[in-house]
Amino acid sequence: MLAGLAPTTGRAATLDQLKGHSFEISLTRVIQFRDAGKPIQQQWMYRVYVGQAGTVFDYTRYDLGPAGSGGGANAISPDHAASLPWGRMKAWDMQGGNLTKLLQQPEGILVETITVDPTVSTCTFSLQGRPDPTTRHLVLQTPQGVRREVVSIGVATYVCTVKQGNVFATDR
């Protein structure tokens, strides 16, 4: 279903190895919109837990500067999708040893990849914008409903941490 969307790495953890582990990612996303003079920095925080059945539980918090801030949570089984606000969809998949989140946008897809080493002790994070194959545009929608075309998107800095157990558990 989602083949070929994530980069393949030489050695990475399998989905079975990720079960029972959590990942916390804090990052600064840099985005250049076609209608803006200079790139905008946005702060994002993700908490992700892979359950024993392979379900991915995630919580996102973001600060988009003048465009607003907020967050949300989802639980999604592998190879399934969930509806999100603003007419978007999200899916998690394991591709080439990478835990990959696909976020359908009004035009195009954002691909966020967590790569975990085989010992499940370290992780890396990457973000890629993929334009719509028909329009050749990547368009994001703000919380206020404004659609903006993206010229470039990437990660300026990030910290990715692996933890044994459920990051959402109240007994830690």
Do 26 and 159 meet the contact criterion of CB atoms below 8 Å apart?
A: yes
Considering the four listed CATH numbers 2.60.40, 1.10.150, 2.60.120, 2.40.128, the one that applies to the domain covering 15-163 is: 2.40.128
Do 131 and 108 meet the contact criterion of CB atoms below 8 Å apart?
A: yes
Total-model pTM: 0.86
Instruction: Categorize the per-residue pLDDT at 168 as very low, low, confident or very high, splitting at 50, 70 and 90.
Output: confident
The dihedrals phi and psi of 117, each to the nearest 5 degrees, come to: -70, 160
> Can you tell me the distance from the alpha carbon of 79 to that of 43, in angstroms, rounded to the nearest whole number?
28
Statement: residue 107 has pLDDT above 60 = yes
Higher pLDDT, 86 or 29: 29
Do 24 and 47 meet the contact criterion of CB atoms below 8 Å apart?
A: yes
Tell me 107's DSSP state.
B
List of E strands, 64-120: 69-76, 81-84, 88-95, 98-104, 109-116
The dihedrals phi and psi of 17, each to the nearest 5 degrees, come to: -70, -30
Terminal-to-terminal C-alpha distance of the chain: 37
What are the extents of the domains in the chain?
A: 15-163
Question: Per DSSP, what are the bridge partners of residue 25?
Answer: 46, 160
Report pLDDT digits (tens) over 19-70: 999 999 999 999 999 998 899 999 999 999 999 999 999 999 998 877 778 8
* Residues of the chain above pLDDT 70, percent: 91
Look up residue 141 and give its two tokens. 């929608």
Return the closest-CA partner of residue 104 out of 93, 91, 117, 114.
Answer: 91
